[in-house]
Structure 1
């Protein structure tokens, strides 16, 4: 029954190559060997993207989302050993710290250099979610300050030109 299902879902051009397999396992192994591509090229590509990922003109939310997307896909290719000795937990903690460093390294230094340095001074290093929340709060504060300054500048310009025209 499963062999029939496999034949029905695969391209009909492949049927002759699996016609003489005796078991479903043989059919599956034949197809897997022929069509499964190694993950190394994709992992390499993702690690390259991660290495090149910088905030640039992106907002903190957009930048973090871009990083998180890459991290999540990389996690799909990663194999964490199952153990009772605590090594898997140590590996997860190390990966979390690596993500914090990657996130902080890609931030705009002019905007977030001070808060980045403060976060790096913490011992132990802060969690990724906390670092993200603090940087996001800093971005929002900076945006509010920027809007206030722009409004004050516009008001001063209006007063200056308005006073000059009245003469």
Structure 2
């Protein structure tokens, strides 16, 4: 049996042998890429991110990792144990990367038997975050929004002579809502 694939010809006795040959040629994991993803997962912590942003970042890294390295398909008990172990590791990583503001919910989550899935742990932490906002009587300002508020981006100012200055393009004689700095010709740019 022979088959031309990507400009090269594979000669094999049967389909199984051809499959094994193809698997050996093309199923290699990019170790450098895997190393970088593992490193990003290891270094991923909440810092100034919201719980939602932190979880989303971590989840996308896990998805990339899982696309490169998958648990072999089988129906035995060992696969279930490995899958459970991986899920436990994800839950632990998520909880370890949280800020100290979440120490109480982290401790109480770790005491649960069995340890919840990472999605359930995320739900518990998110519920704690929302409860803290309600208890404090205010809504937490997103860090990105706070930066804009401090810098005054988009805020109009007045010149010494009393004329307006646009907060968007910083030019005089108009205000942000009338700014045309973003308009460009689609033909000549």
> Shorter-chain-normalised TM-score: which range?
0.5 to 0.7
CA drift at 1:147: 3.4
Which TM-score applies when normalising by structure 1?
A: 0.66
1:5 matched residue in structure 2:
none
1:127 matched residue in structure 2:
117
The structure showing larger relative contact order (alpha-carbon pairs under 8 Å, at least 6 residues apart) is 1
- 1:111-155 Cα offsets, whole Å, 9 max, x none, are 100110111111221121211111001111112223359xxxxxx
> Which one of 28, 31, 50 corresponds to residue 59 of structure 1?
50
Which TM-score applies when normalising by structure 2?
A: 0.59
CA drift at 1:23: 5.7
2:75 matched residue in structure 1:
84
> Which one of 146, 152, 155 corresponds to residue 136 of structure 2?
146
RMSD (Å), alpha carbons: 3.0
Q: Is the 8 A contact 2:52 2:126 kept in 1?
A: yes
Give the match's secondary structure for 2:72: coil
Cα distance in 2 for partners of 1:85, 1:37 equals 25
Equivalent residue pairs, number: 127
Cα distance in 2 for partners of 1:26, 1:52 equals 39
Equivalence map 1:1-167=2 (5 Å): 24-25=4-5, 27=7, 39-109=30-100, 111-148=101-138
- 1:38-78 Cα offsets, whole Å, 9 max, x none, are 51001100010001100011001000000000000100011
**Pair 1:73–1:28, CA change in 2 (3 A):** farther
Q: Which stretches of structure 1, 4 residues or more, deviate above 3 A after TM superposition?
A: 35-38
Q: Can you give the 5+ residue segments of structure 2 that lack an aligned partner in the other structure?
A: 10-21, 140-189
CA drift at 1:37: 8.2
Q: Can you give the 5+ residue segments of structure 1 that lack an aligned partner in the other structure?
A: 1-21, 150-167
Structure with greater helix percent: 1
Cα distance in 2 for partners of 1:86, 1:51 equals 28
Cα distance in 2 for partners of 1:74, 1:50 equals 9
Structure with greater strand percent: 2
84-93 or 42-51: bigger deviation = 84-93
